Amino acid sequence: AQSVAQPEDQVNVAEGNPLTVKCTYSVSGNPYLFWYVQYPNRGLQFLLKYITGDNLVKGSYGFEAEFNKSQTSFHLKKPSALVSDSALYFCAGGASGSARQLTFGSGTQLTVLP
Amino acid sequence: EAQVTQNPRYLITVTGKKLTVTCSQNMNHEYMSWYRQDPGLGLRQIYYSMNVEVTDKGDVPEGYKVSRKEKRNFPLILESPSPNQTSLYFCASRLQTGQGYGYTFGSGTRLTVV
């Protein structure tokens, strides 16, 4: 069975500092991976995805993620955090060819301190 | 505007009283799915549908039913709700072809069963 893990429930970072939100995955075959963000009382919004190709994926709002096959990780990063980045972040993944589609991680609450 | 519309946004009901949460998308997506979001557990898939009249169980289908009579609609039915179904529910859709496409999510339905 496929799984996605986000080992940190909460990440705090000072505004202007770089941020990293961690994600590891376990899927059979070639993975496809996503990051979503959820603001209070809103649905999930797509940030970026990895399907194939470059290991560094750039997405919305200045976010990027690095796919590392050997470590089965897909960490979300941003060089300089903004207070407005504070939200709940979800990593999701699945195996290419899987009819079950995406499995989500448990979420990481990011708080950017002014 | 391309969107997934869920109704109602908030619902309080009593144990055993049948209810339906509606979901409609205007993007001609083949694939639709229901998730529930609970603190610390992330999003768990309840049911999904790969096209009209094609539905299958996700990870937590017990106590739920779905139907897919039209491409745009994918209602979630709770025949006899119980308090452990109190949760935040999301409907999502995506194109079936090309698994690299991400989901579009609805704004969520917060259900409380007393």
What is the reported pLDDT for A95?
80
Residue A114 banded pLDDT, cuts 50, 70, 90: very high
DSSP class of B2? -
Query: What CA–CA distance (Å, rounded) separates A5 from B94?
Result: 23
Of residues A96 and B9, which shows the higher confidence score? Answer: B9
Cβ atoms of residues A56 and A64 within 8 Å? yes
The residue whose two tokens read 């195996």 is: A95
User: Residue A84 phi/psi, 5° resolution?
Assistant: -70, -10
* Dist CA A92 CA B66 (whole Å): 23
What DSSP letter does each residue of B32-52 carry, written as one string?
EEEEEEETTTEEEEEEEEEET
pLDDT at A79 over 90: yes
Q: For residue B100, what pLDDT is reported?
A: 58
Below-50 pLDDT ranges, chain B = none
| Residues paired with residue A68 on neighbouring β-strands, in sequence order | A73
Say what the pLDDT of residue B92 is: 93
Residue A90 has its nearest CB partner, among B33, B43, B58, at B43
Contacts of B42 in chain A (CB under 8 A): 6, 90, 104-107
Encoded tokens for A45 = 């919004």
The mean pLDDT of A79-93, rounded to a whole number, is 95
Model confidence pLDDT, tens digit, residues A22-57:
999 998 888 889 999 999 878 899 899 998 888 999
Percent of residues, chain A, with pLDDT higher than 70: 95
Q: Torsions phi, psi of B85, nearest 5?
A: -95, 5
Number of other residues whose CB lies within 10 A of the CB of residue A80: 11
Coil, helix or strand for A80?
Answer: coil
Is residue B19 within 8 Å of residue B12, measured between CB atoms?
no
From chain B, pick out residues whose CB is under 8 angstroms from the CB of A6: 42
Mean pLDDT of chain A: 91
